[in-house]
Structure 1
Amino acid sequence: MLDIAGELARWADEGREFAVATVVAVGGSAPRGPGAALAVDSEGTVVGSVSGGCVEGAVYDLCLQALQDGGTVLERFGYSDEDAFAVGLTCGGVIDVMVTPVGARAPVREVFRSALSAAASGGPLALARVVRGPAELLGGALLVHPGGSYEGSYGGSAELDRTVAAEAGAMLDAGRTGTLALAEDGTHCPGGLTLLVEANVPPPRMIVFGAIDFAQALVRVGKFLGYHVTVCDARPVFATRARFPEADDLVVDWPHRYLRRTGTDGRTVLCVLTHDAKFDIPLLEQALRLPVAFVGAMGSRRTHADRDRKLREAGLGDEELARLRSPIGLDIGARTPEETALSIAAEIVAARRGGTGVPLTGSATPIHRDGRRDDHRDGAEAA
């Protein structure tokens, strides 16, 4: 639901009544993951998507019905063997969709409104909603803030609220959206509870070192993928706003010095395009020791061999050097800066999602993987 927070926050501020359908579980080849949402207001206006088109019409009708009935419903959509054109996912997957009405007197309205407002402004939060359990708890929501404070209640015991807040807070710290199963002894609910926890966190960082023409193209692709993009170069004549109008940050500093003082985490992507040893070696010596998602460096195979030797002399071992993607990018025959940026972006997505990089044609690899490595309100990535 947080993927359409901007529009829904406006609806809530305007006092509109609406129903929101959220993907709470997927199986097989499904086009969108948990947290994807579609909402319909009382006038029939629709925003968002749960399946890329496969079941949107049926979900739209469910939302209108929920607005009339005032109850939360859970519906499963899957492939129909008898009629591939029946309501269902003709790609062969299964999705569970929860439809929650947010009327003027809906118990979750204020929690939703706070969550949507915070998410629309980019604030970190986790929204934990019951998707399996007693009927009276279905759709109930808890808004969890960094540090452990929370808003709302499931209407049960305070112990349950505290337990969910602690578990959802841990998922927020990891920037992870997914399901959370709580056993019966921790919830006092027969059979336990399953919750969907949607984490809203700042976009992951992409730091591009080297203000060259290839970097200009990579910045555009990075922004398209939803990254907060920083360009760093020690040469002020190249690191200019005129050359990088789409970059979020421009830094004039020696790359290794900037990397030492800036913040990174397990989602950060580092792209080293300088291919100049005086910049590369001290930078990569630090980068390969950081717990970041991706470290790649541009250069020929000869440059890579020389770089590998110098990094070993600097004290890096096999395990650290195995993390280096060099030469950076997938082999797509790229020549131009734009093609090279696409090649680099493809390798970043493959590393993040566990992809192979091989053509899907003639391949037995799944198109959509259940083990999504990092769901961060992804922008426009597709398999």
Structure 2
Amino acid sequence: MKDRPATADTLREILETVYPRYVSGETLALATVVSTVRSAPRGPGAAMAVAQDGAVVGSLSGGCVEGAVYDAAVEVRESGRPRLQTYGFTGGDLEAFEVGLTCGGVIEVYIEQISRAAFPELAALRESLAAGEPVALSTVVAGPEEGPGRIGSRLVVWEDRRAGTFGSAALDDIAAADARARLRRGSTDLRHYSSAGRREGEEVSVFTQSFVAAPRMLVFGAVDYAAALARLGAFLGYRVTVCDARPVFVTAERFPDADEVVRRWPHEYLEAEHAAGRLDDRTVVAVLTHDPKFDVPLLAAALRMPHLAFVGALGSRRTHEDRLARLREAGLGEAELRRLHSPLGLDLGGRSPEETAVSIVAEIVAEAHGGSGRRLHDTEGPVHANNRGLAAVDSG
């Protein structure tokens, strides 16, 4: 899979280099970005490890704060005492320059010691990552030195089990429930609890990283629009596949941002991926072919897969009406046809492949998060539509 721009180096990416040192008995330090404010080079989850011989694996900011973090990591590696460090602009150009964040951003970095004694659950975490099993890692990054919610304590959480403890059954239960909610969404974030295990407290700060396979974007039709859409899909973190039956068009050189380029009849490829269990409720299907002999069997197959997150087809309103008629002839019912996003994209007024790709991903994002697609200026209430959903999780 290609690197994703938001966070290129996470624990998942650096673990294969770190793990052999861990197994050999070496003690390392691990630094992880747990929160950002304003502009920041990398998002939460970016990670960097410092080995006993001084070797560095990973990156937190593309070079901005690595020097300062390195020095702190060496201290933590030797002392075993974790710490939460803040780096960023604090009011003066000199202060900003000293930590390297002249962009004006602020990041919080949690630094901890990693060894077989300090992190015995790492072996199970690594095994799940290698097997592609969804797993979440929750770590107390700010809390008391001793007792429930102790800084540095961890939970590794799967859908059906967990390992480790925060030192309190109540805190373990509520943090594990929240970790599973994040695991289902594939999200990574920082949460706060009381040491007694309530969500309204602030004494304990828990950073949860979700490790799941990237969601898939299947783009059918090897056209210029597909190249632009593959680029934006990769930027959003999708694993992008471009599929077309025409060998002269479907080449890796034409789609450098796609994770894979497949030459096959579209409906056959989709049905094979479905049969193999490689599609889920995060999978996005975008049909750009404008050819009934490809479109109709492909869309008929896709719309009969109710678990797919999004099924859309590019084209004019006339093409859309013709497509609906053909799909009805193929036996699809009205409930299935209502799942079709066509004509595909939001009304942004653009015409170029790149502008069209922006309108397509805008509709995909809006659908995923319950957005209206309207200008925020013309709406009321929370800016982020999913705030209400998160509030429900927090109070549940």
Shift, 1:46, TM fit = 1.0
Q: Distance in 2 between matches of 1:49 and 1:248?
A: 30
**Structure 1 unaligned residues grouped into runs of 5+:** 335-339, 356-369, 374-383
Partner SS state of residue 97, structure 1:
strand
Contact 1:208–1:231 (CA under 8 A) maintained in structure 2: yes
Say which SS state the counterpart of residue 155 (structure 2) adopts. Answer: strand
Q: Which amino acid aligns with 1:138?
A: I
Instruction: Give the C-alpha shift of residue 281 in structure 1.
Output: 4.8
- How far residue 80 of structure 1 moved from its aligned partner, in angstroms, is 3.4
Matched residue, 1:360:
none
3-state SS of 1:85 partner:
helix
Question: Matches of 2:337 and 2:229 in 1, distance apart?
Answer: 30
Partner residue in 2 for 1:94 = 106
**Counterparts of 1:159 and 1:49 in 2: how far apart (Å)?**
35
Partner of 1:247: 260
CA drift at 1:295: 4.2
Distance, in Å, in 2 between the alignment partners of 1:75 and 1:36 is 14
How far apart are the structure 2 equivalents of 1:257 and 1:68? 54
SS at match of 1:203: coil
* Alpha carbons 2:171, 2:195 under 8 Å: kept: no
Which residue of 2 is the match for residue 367 of structure 1?
none
Q: Contact 1:2–1:198 (CA<8 Å) still a contact in 2?
A: no
What is the alpha-carbon distance in structure 2 between the residues aligned to residue 168 and residue 72 of structure 1? 22
Secondary structure of the 2:99 match is: coil
Task: Give the deviation of 1:174 after TM superposition.
Answer: 2.2
Structure 2 vs 1, CA of residues 197 and 182 (structure 1 numbering), >3 Å: closer, same or farther?
Answer: same
Q: Distance in 1 between matches of 2:116 and 2:336?
A: 61
Q: Given that residues 33 and 47 in structure 2 are in contact (C-alpha distance below 8 angstroms), is that contact kept between their aligned partners in structure 1?
A: yes
2:47 to 23, 37, 54: 37
Code of the aligned partner of 1:344? A
Question: Under a length normalisation based on structure 2, what TM-score does the superposition of the two structures give?
Answer: 0.69
User: Over the residues paired in the alignment, what is the CA RMSD in angstroms?
Assistant: 4.6
CA contact (8 A) 1:127 1:198 kept: yes
> Among the aligned pairs, what percent are the same residue?
38
1:53 is aligned with what amino acid?
Answer: G
Equivalenced residues, count: 350
CA distance in structure 1 between the aligned counterparts of 2:358 and 2:25, rounded to whole angstroms: 41
Separation in structure 1 between the aligned mates of residue 16 and residue 356 of structure 2, nearest angstrom: 32
Bigger Cα displacement from structure 2, 249-258 vs 122-131: 249-258
Report the Cα offset of residue 13 of structure 1: 3.0
Partner of 1:150: 162
Contact conserved, 1:296 with 1:327, CA < 8 A, in 2? no
Q: Is the 8 A contact 1:133 1:189 kept in 2?
A: no
1:280 counterpart = 2:295: yes
Structure number having the greater helix percentage:
2
How far residue 317 of structure 1 moved from its aligned partner, in angstroms, is 11
Instruction: Give the drift of 1:372.
Output: 12
Equivalent position SS for 1:325 = coil
Q: Say which structure, 1 or 2, has more relative contact order (CA 8 Å, 6+ apart).
A: 1
Matches within 5 A, 1:1-383: 1-83=11-93, 84-103=96-115, 105=117, 107-108=118-119, 110-136=120-146, 137-147=150-160, 149-154=161-166, 156-186=167-197, 191-210=202-221, 212=222, 214=224, 217=227, 221=231, 227-230=238-241, 247=260, 252=265, 254=267, 264-281=279-296, 283-284=298-299, 292=308, 294-299=310-315, 303=319, 307=323, 315=334, 325-326=344-345, 331=350, 333-334=352-353, 344=357, 348=361, 352=365
> Match of 1:366?
none
CA separation in 1, counterparts of 2:384 and 2:48?
A: 23
Deviations 1:260-291 (A, max 9, x none): 76664443221212212354356557757956
Match for residue 392 of structure 2? none
Worse-matched range after superposition: 65-74 or 291-300 = 291-300
TM-superposed deviation, 1:193: 2.5
Cα distance in 2 for partners of 1:345, 1:208 equals 14
Map of 1:362 onto structure 2: none
Q: What is the Cα deviation at residue 54 of structure 1?
A: 2.1
Task: Read off the aligned partner of 1:10 and give its amino acid letter.
Answer: P
List runs of 5+ in structure 2 lacking aligned partners.
1-10, 372-382, 387-396
Deviations 1:301-341, CA, capped at 9 Å, x for gaps: 7645755787899747998566753499994844xxxxx6x
Q: Indicate conservation of the 8 Å contact 1:239/1:252, yes or no.
A: no
Whether the aligned pair in 1 keeps the contact of 2:267 and 2:301 (CA below 8 Å) is no
Please tell me whether the aligned partners of residues 133 and 193 of structure 1 are also in contact (alpha carbons under 8 angstroms): yes
Following superposition, the deviation at residue 77 of structure 1 comes to: 1.4
AA of the residue aligned to 1:153: T
Corresponding position of 1:365: none
> 8 Å contact 1:38–1:49 — kept in the other structure?
yes
Q: Is the 8 A contact 1:228 1:248 kept in 2?
A: no
Compute the TM-score of the two structures, normalised by the length of structure 1: 0.71
Given that residues 298 and 328 in structure 1 are in contact (C-alpha distance below 8 angstroms), is that contact kept between their aligned partners in structure 2?
no
